[in-house]
Amino acid sequence: MKDLIKKYDIFQSLSPSDLSILARAAMMKELKKGEYLCHEGEKATHLYLLTQGKLKVVKHTSFGKDVILDIYAKGEMFLMEGVFDAEPQPASAVAAEDSMVLLIEKRTFVRVMDQNPMMTRAVLSEMAHKMRGLTDQITDLSVGKVDYRIANLMLKLGHKIGEEEGDQVKLNIHLSRQDIADLTGTTIETAIRTMSRLAKQEVVKTTKDSILILDRHRLEDIAAGF
């Protein structure tokens, strides 16, 4: 467990004894596709690090449906908010495929961080990176056209979870048109039309369980507003 923890950048500065403390407060959680790791409103008790698979973070709306906020891949931390305040989980996390998550008990994590300034800086850097991503996402939703927003989503997912197949990139995840609409702040009808247009232009292709980026350069042009 200690060797696994040390692979994450935020723990690189820790001594062997501090790594051992975290290891004793850690456990692995195996999730099957569709299984929830935690639910919105629950007490936050652990730091979550995804070691294998993919997870979706979803928010339950007042209209009675779940909206995808983000998708996380191997090596990422998620739902960090609950580690640093007394508030409940702001959203739920569900496995998009069979996954493994490393859980580190919240109080132990915070205690070790308080005693290690370099680790604190690494955690703050990680949170700042996520905040910059949220700023970009809000900007896209506010001013970007739908084609631009969907192209950016595909490129972002390609960077996070894509597998290169020659000149193409395969996203091994099922996203419904409603999921794409939720992630880009548009209607399902507009998402359907946009994805159909991108398919006709041979920019992307969707299958039952994946999305294939056929022309990454054209997708980058669309994301840049050309």
Q: Give the pLDDT confidence of 127-148 residue by residue, as tens digits.
A: 898 888 888 877 777 777 899 9
Q: Give the pLDDT confidence of 10-56 residue by residue, as tens digits.
A: 999 999 999 999 999 999 999 999 999 999 999 999 999 999 999 99
- CA-angle at 163, arms to 161 and 169, nearest 5°: 100
Question: pTM of this prediction?
Answer: 0.84
- What span, in angstroms and rounded, lies between the C-alpha atoms of 138 and 20? 40
Is residue 81 predicted with pLDDT exceeding 90?
A: no
**HEC sequence for 143-167:** HCCHHHHHHHHHHHHHHHHEEEECC
Segment 164-187 mean pLDDT: 90
The domains found in the chain, sorted by start residue, are 2-119 (2.60.120.10), 140-223 (1.10.10.10)
51 neighbors 100 (Cβ within 8 angstroms): yes
Find how far residue 32's CA is from the centre of its chain: 17
- What span, in angstroms and rounded, lies between the C-alpha atoms of 55 and 57? 7
Query: Is the alpha carbon torsion for 5, 88, 160, 211 positive or negative?
Result: positive
Quote the pLDDT of residue 225: 80
Six token digits for residue 106: 């919240």
Other Cβ atoms within 10 Å of 87 Cβ, number: 11
